[in-house]
Amino acid sequence: MADAGNSKAREVKVVLLGDTGVGKSSLVLRFVTNNFRPYSESTIGASFMSKMIVVNDTPIKYQIWDTAGQEKVRPLLLQSLTTLKNWVKELKQLGPDNIVIAIAGNKSDLEEKREVPASQARAYAEEIGALFIETSAKEDTNVSDLFIQISQALPTASTESNALPEIVDPYGGGKKKSGGCC
């Protein structure tokens, strides 16, 4: 991975989903700035950062949305595979058909506090066709690799340009193709 210059870059939108305290903001901060803050405030609403990288000679501009842990929407739940399955279900219902789902088992440096065995998370990722990688924003373990794997799993640019973009109605209308009036 190298930083890209000013050449025409492919823009990739990434939305980080997960419950409060799983380290979404720390992953973004480590990837974009190579920094780690041991104590950070919970994200309120959403924050946005971007980073340009080159993967396989292709410049990619990541537009990363770090969402709040939805603590107002969901009660604080035990971080588990069940919670992850709820997030994936919502994402598959509301997201585009060609979405790349990557599951980051973050905080791999806290092995003694692990709630889900890596083998179980990996099996689930395979079951749903998602990427899986264990990361640690604190120790900078596999953070860049996560985004490189996402880059390599993206649909080809020609595949994306042939399809109409999809509009997601967050109020329950589901997905619909854009390009029509009614």
Tens digit of each residue's pLDDT (9 = 90 or more) over 66-78: 877 654 434 433 4
Is 161 a member of any domain? no
For the ranges 4-13, 66-75, 138-147, 157-166, which has the lowest average pLDDT?
Answer: 157-166
Structural domain tally of the chain? 1
CATH number of the domain bearing residue 18:
3.40.50.300
Q: Which domain holds residue 96?
A: 10-156
Q: 168 pLDDT exceeds 90?
A: no
Give me 96's structure tokens: 């585009």
Q: How confident is the model at residue 44 (pLDDT cuts 50, 70, 90)?
A: low
Q: What is the mean pLDDT of residues 120-138?
A: 93
Q: How confident is the model at residue 131 (pLDDT cuts 50, 70, 90)?
A: very high
DSSP string for residues in 107-161: -TT-GGG--S-HHHHHHHHHHHT-EEEE-BTTTTBSHHHHHHHHHHHSPPHHHHH
**Cα separation, 99 vs 4, whole angstroms:** 24
Is 102 a member of any domain? yes
Residues of the chain with pLDDT > 90, as a percent, come to: 33
Is 170 a member of any domain? no
